[in-house]
Amino acid sequence: MYALKNSTIYTGCSIETKKVILIEEETIIDLIDEKDLPSDIRAIDLKGNNVAPGFIDIQVYGGGDSLFFAEPTKKSLEKIHADFLKSGTTHFLITIPTISDEMVKKCIKAAQEYIDEGGKGLIGLHLEGPFINSSKKGAHIEKFIQSPSIQHLEELIKEGGDVIRMITLAPEHCTDECIQLLQDHNIIISAGHSNATFNQAKEAFSKGITTCTHLFNAMSTFSHREPGLVGAIYDSPDVYASIIPDGYHTDFASVRISKKIMQNRLFIITDAVVENLSGDYIYKLDSEHFVTENGTLAGSSLTMMRAVKNCIEKADLEVEEALRMASLYPSKVVNMDHYLGKIKAGYAADFVIFDDDYNVKYTIYEGKITEFDNN
């Protein structure tokens, strides 16, 4: 057992300044007053830095120099997870775009191999496509877009087993039977890349779609005569939505306004890619975001910590709320909030430790601490 002391602790529920965190192996044992810390327990002095639950990014394509779907291997996932730890992300859904069925199978196989050997940090796969609306395809490749069918979904589920955790699809193209089949296999359905009307979206939510992919981007917009998918999200108290707070995908004023409306239903993703100059998907860095060969916005260069910092400094959100958007709320979306997203007895010993300028100093994953030289 060891303890973390001398820090400001953002537990996900409160802010504690005179507590220590007791950790044994991979689990939080307790939070106690610093004055009650037994002298025989090894204590790590965090030197006044801040502690929060490890970040959870449920839409991210790669990290470092690895783009998973372009290099679908166990080694690629190992490199991606190691890179994520540098910016405080301890868990993630690796995401694949609208690509060929053959490539999807390769990604499933690699993810399964990684999970079978411990699967550090990987919650599963997020399939962003292929069941999307071509009119809202964004950077996705049209020739790979498909309409969902029971047969196709059954084949995908048979191939994917427990690896596929989330699918982004256009609800206006999805039958009730398809939605039910995905739910029966505990696959989270996210509405996105969709041109659904307000009524179509509300109907889909009533059938069990619980979240939406990158609010505003590649979805029917809000207007006073047709509120669209955005309006349906705003109007549905049980539906979550992710947002990309980089100033390119979404203006920071839109982040702030949406937060006022949605409260704890809005959470952060990075939708981060890395440069890729060959294959079906070409990603070129343009300032602080990525574009395709024709200039279409294709992904961000965000880290979760930078996204949190943007929410605080540019969207004027409270520190504790921005941190919840990166940990507690996504843990709820993926049904892991019984174990992730809080600093609380019985929860995972996964933390990001950062200074007042939002530089990550340490990350703790499964109780093991890694120090970074981030200034």
Cα–Cα dist 160/104, whole Å: 9
Find out whether 217 is annotated in a ligand binding site: yes
CA nearest to 341, candidates 39, 120, 57, 30: 57
Q: Is the peptide bond before 130 cis (omega within 30 degrees of 0)?
A: yes
CA nearest to 168, candidates 362, 318, 373, 333: 333
Cα–Cα dist 82/236, whole Å: 37
CA nearest to 235, candidates 205, 207, 214: 205
Which residue is listed with tokens 């020739």? 143
Find out whether 298 is annotated in a ligand binding site: yes
At 278, the amino acid letter reads S
CA nearest to 92, candidates 129, 72, 63, 116: 63
Find out whether 193 is annotated in a ligand binding site: yes
Residue 141 CA from chain centroid, whole number = 22
Find out whether 214 is annotated in a ligand binding site: yes
The DSSP symbol for 88 reads T
Find out whether 122 is annotated in a ligand binding site: no
Find out whether 139 is annotated in a ligand binding site: yes
> Strand pairing of 89-96 and 55-60?
parallel
CB 343 within 8 Å of CB 31: yes
CB 335 within 8 Å of CB 269: no
Q: Active site residue: 271, 286, 316, 337, which one?
A: 271
CA nearest to 126, candidates 75, 168, 175, 70: 168
Residue 271 annotated in active site? yes
Find out whether 324 is annotated in a ligand binding site: no
Find out whether 224 is annotated in a ligand binding site: no
Please give the positions annotated as active site. Answer: 271
| Binding region for Zn(2+) | 128, 193, 214
| Binding region for substrate | 139, 217-218, 225, 249, 297-299
